[in-house]
Amino acid sequence: MEKMNTYAKGDWLVHVNYGVGQVKGLERKGIGGKDILYYRIENDASTFWLPVSGVNTKRVRPVASKRKLAEAIRLLKDNPQEILENHKQRENWIKETRLEGALHSTVCLVRDLFVHDSKKKLSPREQDILEDLKKQLTMEWSAVLDVKPFEARSQLDGLLASHLK
C-alpha cells in the first residue's frame, strides 16, 4: 500500500518542475466547474498551486531528512559517471533522470553534468538544466540544514570543484 503524503503549513517540498517551495496553506479553487482543494506553495521565484489529490506522484516529494541529505552530499564526492556522447540520447537520459524526482538522482545528475561540462562542454540548454538543478539542490540543502542559500551553494560549488583537481 502506497504511503499518502500530506503537507501542513510551513512544510517544505520539492517539485520536479518548480523546485523547492514551502506550503503556505490550503485554498479552494473552482476550475472547470469543480471545487478543488490545493496547497498554495511559494518559493523564491513564484507561487504555485498543487492539488491535494496530486501530491502522491514522483513529481513531488518532501524535502530530504538530514540523514538523506548527508548521504546525497557524500554522492557528490564520488567519482562521476561518464555520460552519453550522443546529444539526443543524453537529452532523454537527463529528462528521465529529472522525472525520477529522487534526491540521489538529482545529485548524481548535477555531479556528472558538471564534470562533463568542464571537459567537453554541455549545450546551452543542458547548461541551463544544470544550473536549475544546482539551484534546486541548493534550496533543498538550505531548507534542510537551515543555512542561507549562498552558504549551501558555496559548499555545493566547493564539492563540485574538487572533481576538477
- Helical segments of the chain, H only: 66-77, 87-100, 103-120, 124-145, 149-161
Do both 48 and 82 map to the same domain? Answer: no
| Domain identity same for 81 and 155 | yes
Mean pLDDT of all residues in 75-102: 91
Q: To the nearest 5 percent, what fractions of the chain are helix, strand and coil? A: 50, 20, 30
Instruction: Write the CATH number for 49.
Output: 2.40.10.170
Residue-level pLDDT at 45: 85
Please count the structural domains in the chain: 2
- Which residue range is the domain that position 36 belongs to? 12-62
Residue 23 bridge partners (DSSP): 41
74 and 154 part of one domain:
yes
Does residue 57 register a pLDDT over 80? no
The C-alpha cell that represents 52 in the structure block: 491535494
User: In percent, how much of the chain has pLDDT > 90?
Assistant: 67
Same domain, 81 and 40: no
pLDDT one-digit tens code per residue, 123-158: 999 999 999 999 999 999 999 999 999 999 999 999
Q: In this structure, are 80 and 126 located in the same domain?
A: yes
50 or 114, greater pLDDT: 114
* 36 closest CA partner among 27, 44, 45, 48: 27
Q: What pTM was estimated for this model as a whole? A: 0.87
Helix (H, G, I), strand (E, B) or coil at 72: helix
Do 72 and 133 sit in the same domain of this protein? yes
